[in-house]
Structure 1
Amino acid sequence: MQVITRDFFLYLSKNKALNRAAQNWGGNIAAGKIVGGLNFPSSIKFIKELNEEGLSVTVDHLGEFVTSTSVAKERTEECIKTIEMIAAEGLDSQVSVKMTSLGLDIDEKLVYENMTRILDTAEKLKIMVTIDMEDEVRCQKTLDIFKDFKQRYTYISTVLQAYLYRTENDLNELNQFKPFLRLVKGAYKESPNVAFPDKADVDENYKKLIKTQLLSGIYTAIATHDDAMIEYTKQLAKDHNILPNQFEFQMLYGMRTATQKKLVKDGYKMRVYVPYGNDWYGYFMRRLAERPANIAFALKGMTKK
Structure 2
Amino acid sequence: MEALMRNTFLFLAKNRAANKAAQAYGMRLGASRFVAGDNIENAIQKVRDFNRRGIVATLDHLGEFVFSEEEARMAADECVAALDAIGAAGVQSHLSLKMTQLGLDISQDLCLDNMHRILDTAKKHGNFVRIDMEDYAHNEISIDIFKRLRAEYGETVGLVIQAYLYKSAQDIEDLNVFHPNLRLVKGAYKEPESVAFPKKEDVDANYIRIIERHLTLGNYAAVASHDEKIIEHVKRFTAEHQIPRQQFEFQMLYGIRSDLQDQLAAEGYTVRVYIPYGTDWYGYFMRRLAERPANVGFVLKSMLKG
TM range, smaller chain? over 0.9
Aligned pair in 2 of structure 1 residues 208, 96: CA closer, same or farther (>3 Å)? same
Paired residue for 1:269?
270
* Partner of residue 210, structure 1: 211
1:55 matched to 2:55: yes
3-state SS of paired residue (2:124): helix
Give the distance between the partners of 2:90 and 2:302, measured in 1 at CA: 27
Letter in 1 for 2:168: T
Aligned mates of 2:140, 2:20 — CA distance in 1: 31
- The percent identity for this pair of structures is 50
Any idea what the Cα deviations from partners look like across 1:132-163, whole Å, max 9, x if unmatched? 10000110000000000100103100100000
- In the TM superposition, what is the alpha-carbon distance from 1:17 to its structure 2 partner? 3.8
Give the number of equivalent residue pairs.
304
State how far apart, in whole Å, the 2-side matches of 1:264 and 1:244 are. Answer: 12
The CA distance in 1 between the partners of 2:105 and 2:5, in whole Å, is 29
Amino acid at match of 2:119: L
Aligned to 1:44: 44
- How far the C-alpha of 1:302 sits from its partner, in A, is 10
Shift in CA distance, 102/80, structure 1 to aligned 2, threshold 3 Å: same
Change (3 A) 1:117 1:71: same
Structural mapping, 1:21-36, within 5 Å: 21-27=21-27, 33-36=33-36
Determine the structure 2 residue equivalent to 1:11.
11
Which residue identity lines up with residue 192 of structure 2 in the other structure? S
Deviation at 1:28, TM superposition (A): 5.8
Distance 2:190 2:149 in 1: 28
Contact 1:64/1:98 (<8 A) preserved? no
**Deviating more after overlay: 276-285 vs 168-177:** 276-285
Q: Distance in 2 between matches of 1:221 and 1:23?
A: 32
Q: Hey, what does 2:239 align to over in structure 1? A: 238
Contact kept, 8 Å, 2:30 with 2:299, in 1: the verdict is no
Number of the residue aligned with 1:186: 187
Distance 1:267 1:240 in 2: 18
Q: CA deviation at 1:215?
A: 1.3
Instruction: Report the more deviating stretch, 187-196 or 3-12.
Output: 3-12
Q: Secondary structure at the match of 2:105?
A: coil
Runs (5+) with no aligned partner, structure 2:
none
- CA apart distance, 1:293: 5.8
Q: Which runs of 5+ in 1 are unaligned?
A: none
Match of 1:278, SS state, is coil
CA shift, 1:22, in A, is 2.5
Which deviates more, 231-240 or 24-33?
Answer: 24-33
Is 1:254 aligned with 2:255?
A: yes
Q: CA deviation at 1:273?
A: 0.3
TM-score (norm 2): 0.93
Aligned partner letter, 1:165: Y
1:218-258 Cα offsets, whole Å, 9 max, x none, are 11100011111111111111211222221000000011111
Q: State the match for 1:290 in structure 2.
A: 291
Is 1:149 aligned with 2:162? no
CA distance in 1, matches of 2:118, 2:36: 21
In structure 1, what is the Cα distance between the partners aligned to 2:244 and 2:107? 43
Q: How far did residue 292 of structure 1 move?
A: 4.4
User: 1:120 is matched with which residue?
Assistant: 120
